Structure 1
Amino acid sequence: MLTDNFGRKFYYLRLSITDVCNFRCNYCLPDGYACDNDRDFLSLPEIKRVANAFAQMGTEKIRITGGEPSLRKDLPDIISACKQTAGIKKVAITSNGYKLPEHLPAWLDAGIDNINISIDSLDPRQFHAITGHNKLDHILKGIDMALADGRPNIKVNTVLMREYNGYDIQSYLNWLKDTPVTLRFIELMQTGDNQEFFDAQHVQGSRIKQNLILDGWLPCIQEKTAGPAQEFYHPDYQGKIGLIMPYSKDFCNTCNRLRISSLGKLHLCLFTEEGLSLKEYLQQDDVEPLKARIAAMMHDKKATHFLQDNLTGATKNLAMLGG
């Protein structure tokens, strides 16, 4: 079992397969994607070796991220490869959903279990202002298709921003009244290139949590492979609410996830100084050397992400690792 020096166990791998994104979200890539590396993204055989090694070390859940992962034409093959790996119980994806209705059948056929879609406003005009795309209705259609199918668990990610959606929590609550998804409000995080935006837009999730509790929302019991969200349910609502609050006290105490970048680097934290390359260990089917290298690297994992000290490491933007 993958364990660090603080006794934390790691059941959950976030696997980035590209850092390219076709959206221009104001909190992540306001100027659009700019290529500043060699783009030698993980191949399907390399991804299979990563999945196999981590599964043998106790990982049970893989989340496929980007950038925007659906920009890779072999995404269904990647989903299938992860799903067929012995020991992997859940395969999830985080996407902007820009072609969700078109992509959904292939993802379902490949065996996807969980789908997370980013929707930072339920107002089409505000959605366009945040992302640079007029795609909200199309994305919501895809979510309705997934709910009608019934197989995948659906979550919606919303990054909280004071001027863009921080004042409009009620519209999400109205939507959740009859929509059986889990909506996760994510605190805006400081990265290497968004200091001014962060200072102007950061909203504390703790305030929303207090209001939810006052309104009768109750905490959900979390699985060991669950992400960092604190989730709540209400008997009068079909949907649930999650809060991801990286600036809250002891946020890192329950860390259970590691990250592999699209370039084959192990990131012990979203905000580490640099990724630790595994590429040379991904060129053969024997994963024992890869497992040994990963285990050795775990000794470098820190107790906290140090965001509270305004240290963002090498993370220039969230598209680098998919959050």
Structure 2
Amino acid sequence: MDSHIIDQLGRPIKDLRISVIDQCNFRCTYCMPAEIFGPDYAFLPKEELLSFDEIVRLAEIFAKFGVEKIRLTGGEPLMRKDLADLVGRLKDIDGIKDIAVTTNAVFLVRQAQKLKDAGLDRVNISLDAIEDHVFQETNGRGIKTKPVLKGIEAARDAGLKIKINMVVKKGMNEDQILPMARYFKGTGDTLRFIEFMEVGNHNGWNMDAVVSKKWIIEQIHQEMPLVPQDPSYYGEVASRYRYEDGSGEIGVISSVTEAFCSSCTRARLSADGNLFTCLFASSGYDLKTMLREGESDETITDYLLAIWTGRTDQYSVDRAQGKPMKENKIEMSYIGG
């Protein structure tokens, strides 16, 4: 961390999300709908992806801005060859305290221990239902929960911290809230419910499909009493609740009904090297060209400083105030969440 840079920022960038690949072995209805990402969809060619050297160089620069947490996303990041090598290199960067991977967990059986040995701290696992007939509908491929649950078990055995992310969409899987809470209660894993958001242009979002944080908490509290918790750190997006009986905790991410734009400390880097300052952005800032044209770290640092201090994005706040929304938002599969 560079104190001179931090003083200019106003608020630091604490959390860097890096999409390492745009491909996935699921075609989920939330971020990679089958009607868009069919068998003929043209994913990025290998040469368009940032190399591990380029990712590490940018991560080193971002660490000067206060970044302490890096999450590797996709697509499915475990499809990127030798991901454990990248984890190890990122873990060695001064100031980086936490490395995570967002995954559907299918490949964790083979890779969990290797990733842990390389320095991975935790995994964020996407699982939108615990009952097979619902999960098969949500993932769009007819895949059952068994391979995901085996991946979760492998992550536990490796000693990785685990967060389970469930996107809740009315009419699709709201009846899975309680079954999911029952299943993961007492396991040591943190289950997080995410309000259905209008990321991208193809997930069929409308407000009628949103299941609110308030409703989710009420359903669980009636059966399994909850106690609200204070945030663990500035900028934490999930509202945390612990079970009254001490058997764990849950979280709810409520960017639709309770916007948290003003405390956002996240930056997102796409697999082809574009920087986004908001999950709902419609355009990014090209860093890959700067890297490949030989720009110095100092030049890139100055560019990033201008971007971060000049940001005005507050999409969720604007939406809540009824302001006109931008069209052609970036897809979740591209930006990585």
Of 122, 125, 130, which aligns to 1:117?
125
Determine if the alignment matches structure 1 residue 35 to structure 2 residue 35: no
Deviation at 1:211, TM superposition (A): 4.5
Of 288, 305, 308, which aligns to 1:279?
288
Once the two structures are superposed, what CA deviation does each residue of 1:227-257 show, in whole Å capped at 9, x if it has no partner? 4111111132533211011113442122111
TM-score normalised by the chain length of structure 2: 0.86
Alignment match, 1:254:
263
Query: How do 1:23-172 residues align onto structure 2 when only pairs under 5 Å count?
Result: 23-31=26-34, 32=37, 34-35=41-42, 40-131=48-139, 132-150=141-159, 152-172=160-180
Distance in 1 separating the partners of 2:324 and 2:112: 39
Deviation at 1:195, TM superposition (A): 6.2
Q: Secondary structure at the match of 1:189?
A: coil
Q: Secondary structure at the match of 2:12?
A: coil
Distance in 2 separating the partners of 1:146 and 1:37: 29
Distance in 1 separating the partners of 2:144 and 2:274: 32
Q: AA paired with 1:105?
A: Q
RMSD: 2.5
Task: Check the 8 A contact 1:183/1:241 in 2, yes or no.
Answer: yes
Shift of the 232–161 alpha-carbon distance from structure 1 to 2, 3 Å rule, reads same
Once the two structures are superposed, what CA deviation does each residue of 1:134-172 show, in whole Å capped at 9, x if it has no partner? 24112212212322333x210000010112221232101
Alignment match, 1:317:
331
Once the two structures are superposed, what CA deviation does each residue of 1:79-102 show, in whole Å capped at 9, x if it has no partner? 111111111011011011122111
Q: Secondary structure at the match of 1:167?
A: helix
Shift of the 313–114 alpha-carbon distance from structure 1 to 2, 3 Å rule, reads farther
Once the two structures are superposed, what CA deviation does each residue of 1:39-88 show, in whole Å capped at 9, x if it has no partner? 60110110111110011221111011111111111211111111111110
Deviation at 1:286, TM superposition (A): 4.8
Q: Which moved more, 1:278-287 or 1:17-26?
A: 278-287
Bigger relative contact order, structure 1 or 2, given CA contacts below 8 A and separation 6+?
A: 1
Task: Check the 8 A contact 1:116/1:156 in 2, yes or no.
Answer: yes
Task: Check the 8 A contact 2:239/2:251 in 1, yes or no.
Answer: yes
Q: What is the identity percentage for the equivalent residue pairs of Structure 1 and Structure 2?
A: 33
Report the count of equivalent residues: 322
Of 14, 19, 22, which aligns to 2:22?
19
Task: Check the 8 A contact 1:190/1:310 in 2, yes or no.
Answer: no
Distance in 1 separating the partners of 2:327 and 2:319: 9
Q: Secondary structure at the match of 1:272?
A: coil
Task: Check the 8 A contact 1:118/1:158 in 2, yes or no.
Answer: yes
Distance in 2 separating the partners of 1:250 and 1:177: 27
Determine if the alignment matches structure 1 residue 8 to structure 2 residue 2: no
Task: Check the 8 A contact 1:274/1:313 in 2, yes or no.
Answer: no
Shift of the 237–52 alpha-carbon distance from structure 1 to 2, 3 Å rule, reads same
Q: Which runs of 5+ in 2 are unaligned?
A: none
Of 295, 298, 302, which aligns to 2:305?
295
Alignment match, 1:240:
249
Q: Secondary structure at the match of 2:174?
A: coil
Distance in 2 separating the partners of 1:307 and 1:4: 31
Distance in 1 separating the partners of 2:6 and 2:212: 31
Distance in 2 separating the partners of 1:280 and 1:25: 31
Distance in 2 separating the partners of 1:277 and 1:4: 25
Q: AA paired with 2:245?
A: D
Distance in 2 separating the partners of 1:146 and 1:122: 18
Q: AA paired with 2:151?
A: G
Q: Which moved more, 1:260-269 or 1:33-42?
A: 33-42
Q: Which runs of 5+ in 1 are unaligned?
A: none
Distance in 1 separating the partners of 2:327 and 2:50: 23
Of 174, 191, 194, which aligns to 2:182?
174
